[in-house]
Structure 1
Amino acid sequence: MLLACSLQLIACGLLTGCSVYSFTGTNIDPEVKTISIQTFQNNADNGPSFLAQRFTEEFKDYFQRNTTLKLVPRDGDLQFEGQIIAYDFAPAAIQRENNVDQAGVNRLTIQVRVRFTNTKDPKQDFEETFQSNGDFAAAQDVASINNDPTSLRRITTNIITDAFNKSVANW
C-alpha cells in the first residue's frame, strides 16, 4: 500500500514537472492569468488600411483559442505590442516569354515587429521581427489579394504562430 502511494506521487511529480504543460504546446507559469494585446500599428508604406485592425484581432483570437489566459485591455501578466513594418508585393520568379521578362509568380511579404513582456518572468521578454510570405499567380494583383481574406490570413497566421511559439511555447 505504501509502495503504491509512493509510486503514484512519483508519477504525478514526473507528469507535472516544474511548470504547466498543455496539449496546445504552451508552457505557461500557473501565476500567469491575463494577457493584453495592444493594437499593432501599420507602419508599412503600402499596406492596406484594414491590416492593423485585422492582424490585431487575429492575434487576440489565436491566443484566446490556444490558451486559457483572460484577455484584458492593458497591464496583463503577458503583454504584446508592435507594428507592421513591411508589406511588400514584388515579382518572385521572373520568366522570359517572347523576349520579355515578366513575373511568373508574385510574392507578398509581411514583417511585424513584436514586443513581448512577461511581468512574471522578465527573462522571457523579447522584441523580434517576424516575417512570412505567400506566392501568388502572376495574374493576381495586390488589390485582389487584399480583397481575399484567406490569402492574407495564411501569411498573418504564420507570423502569429511564430510569436505564440516564441512567447508561450518557449520554442
Structure 2
Amino acid sequence: MKPFIKILFLCMLSSALIFAEGCGFFKHYDFKGSNIPEDIGTFTVDFFGNEASLVNPQLSMNFTEKMKTKFQTESRLGMQGFGGDYQFSGAITEYRIYPASLNTDVGTSQNQFSIKVRCEFNCAKYPEKNFTREFSFFKIFDANQSFESLESQLSTEIIDQIVQQIFAAVALDW
C-alpha cells in the first residue's frame, strides 16, 4: 500500500506544478526568488567611480565586478557592455573610519568603517521602477587592531551587503 501512496503523491505534486505553470504562477518568479519581468533579459553595469574623500584605489573595480557577478549568478539576466534592459551606474560616495564607542580609560575602544554608494537604476521598459538611491553598510572593529590589516576583509563584507541591498531593491522589489 505504501508504494501506491508514494506514486499517488508524486502524481498529485506533478499535476500541481504543471497546473501552476499553466496558470502563469512561475511567470514572474524564479526559484531564486527574483521578481524580474519576462521581457527583461539583459543588464549593464557602468563603472562605479569613487567620489569619497578617502579613496581605496581598488574599491571601484571591486564594487563594479561584484555588481556584475551578483546579477549574472543570481538572476537569469545576461550581461551587456552597454544598453541593457536594466542599467546601473553610480559612485562610491563615502569610505570612512570613525570612533564607534569610547572607553574612558584608553579613548576609543571600537571603530566603525562605513561605505556608502549612490546607485542610479534605469529600466527603459518600466520607467516607474527607476531610482537614484544611496545604499550603505558598516562594520565595527576593535580599535586596537590596525585598519590596514582588516581593510580588505571588511570592505569585501561591506560591498557584499551593499550589492545585496541593490539586488533586493531591483530584483525583489524591496
**TM tier, shorter chain?**
0.7 to 0.9
Say if 2:151 is the partner of 1:154: no
Q: Percent sequence identity over matched residues?
A: 29
Is 1:126–2:131 an aligned residue pair? Answer: yes
Aligned partner of residue 104 in structure 1, secondary structure: strand
Q: TM-score if structure 1 supplies the norm length?
A: 0.86
Residues 110, 133 of structure 1: 8 Å contact kept: yes
Q: Give, in whole Å, the separation in 1 of the partners of 2:27 and 2:65.
A: 29
Deviations 1:140-165 (A, max 9, x none): 2332233x3x3211111111111101
Q: CA-to-partner distance for each residue in 1:45-96, whole Å, 9 max, x for gaps?
A: 1021111001111111111110121111111000000000001101101111
2:80 counterpart residue number: 72
Tell me the alpha carbon deviations over residues 32-53 of structure 1, each in whole angstroms, 9 at most, x when there is no partner. 1110000100000102111100
Verify the 8 A CA contact 1:132 1:158 in the aligned structure 2.
yes
- Alignment partner for residue 28 of structure 1, among 26, 29, 36? 36
SS of residue matched to 1:154: helix
8 Å contact kept, 1:19–1:28: no
Q: Please give the per-residue CA displacement for 1:115-167, whole angstroms capped at 9, x wherever unaligned.
A: 00112211100000001000111122332233x3x321111111111110111
State the alpha-carbon separation in 1 of the partners of residues 119 and 100 from structure 2: 26
Please, which runs of 5 or more residues in structure 2 have no aligned partner? 1-15
**Aligned residue type for 1:126:** F
Number of residue pairs matched by the alignment:
161
Superposed CA RMSD: 2.1
1:103 paired with 2:103, answer no
> How many Å separate the matches in 2 of 1:103 and 1:19?
53
Q: Indicate the SS of the match to 2:104.
A: strand
For residues 21 and 154 of structure 1, the distance between their equivalents in structure 2, rounded to whole angstroms, comes to 28
Q: Is 1:168 the equivalent of 2:165?
A: no
Task: Give the one of 38, 41, 57 matched to 2:46.
Answer: 38
Match for residue 141 of structure 2 among 125, 131, 136: 136
Question: Structure 1: 5+ residue runs without aligned partners?
Answer: 1-6
CA distance in 2, matches of 1:23, 1:51: 31
Name the CA distance, whole Å, in 1 between partners of 2:17 and 2:150.
Answer: 56
